[in-house]
Structure 1
């Protein structure tokens, strides 16, 4: 029997957790669904990741209001993916911040990504009628920028290509805490369909070198303590290496995409099959790894049609 496409078979609402990972710093998580972060400053609040719809953003806002009544003034979007950005209108933030590259990717492939992810994640897009359109930043940066929420300093930077070409991380120096977006995951498959395997490991090195005390990852539980941080960075690296190396070996000998699929499954299934969204991500990951190994530096744009064709070839 063919597997349900992507996450179309996952219609169970996830249990939400809201963990304080530093003074005034919170991680909103939901059993492998996309996470959000909260930074409470002296007189205002910054949110990291908007969620897929205003409906889901409302759940983040509800948790924020359980700990502070300060206005939400800043929204940081670590990359352009629809499940991260299309709930932005709910926050009413004065500033919506992305990297320059992430904004360019909205322009290049934002609508295609929306159509693609809408098809992949029907549960996350319940209430999609309230999405007003593509989310565009009001503020962009190239290498890094700093925002002050009163006296609280927040550093936003682009540490290198990884999950996408334009990933950002958010660092709060006074608590030595970082929000990494999907560069780091915990017990969740990395989605690599728009990724850069050759750079991702070096980007993880940049994050590891910061020696932070806590991380809010893109998916999975909050990581508190350097032991948990190191474990998640190591497991993320292992997931990437275990995906790319078998695909690259197949590509080097002129094998097919289906050959790469079989080789990656043989390596990854024993280690990662119980990870959140594993079966969803794997065909997209193998396709991208195979392309990159054959010299394709820029990921091809996923469309709702290409998604289904690839899925049928590999997973269907």
Structure 2
């Protein structure tokens, strides 16, 4: 199989590329600089261009690129970058694929559980309605941006990703040093739900969907047992063998991070992977404890700067 990947240097993209190449598949990485090898293709989502030459003969494209959500204050400029990188970038890619003489038959395009907004204690799945707020609006438009590819007959699935757990990147990789020092703590009152997925299961789900072009539309890429933040905090502390006594007050998070606190860190999202399970996908880590133990054992070989480690 020949698979092209955007966001291939991020947490999810690099793990998928490694998994595919280890199994003998060919990976073409879409990069923003001039291509250096035949396994790279230059694209410029800001200017709406994609060199589709290296994509000829590709069976599938996995689109994971997007500006980091944070943790950082969501200024007007950052909100614009978050939206532009996802919506305009996806529209550029979809149009380029649709314009190929023989386009790939499969497209997996990033999205996030942020689509559902704040669900409180209510469990939702892919049949749930769109929520309210900035991230929910971005996710809606992000998914709609694949329309041109779908109209060209490319079987498209949207990856509504939760928080991907890895000790070497993403949200967990960022906070692990604090937990190892005994400085971890719950966020706010800790009652907000978090929809998570192990890195192994996220890669496995993408591989599963690549092999099933009959599965289109949204798929929640999160484990079947979301947990509240207080339980997550206790589980991380247990995985590193340290206490986590220092809760971070909600008012302090809002003061420091503004909209990121209210729409990402403190939002409650109890999301279930109904369509993946119905399709027969088997999770390696359906529960949090073993997933965290594997993630913590990965070490810290990355700086955690990948753009798509968290789907919130």
Structure with more relative contact order (C-alpha pairs < 8 Å, separation 6 or more): 2
TM-score, structure 1 length as denominator? 0.30
TM-score, structure 2 length as denominator? 0.30
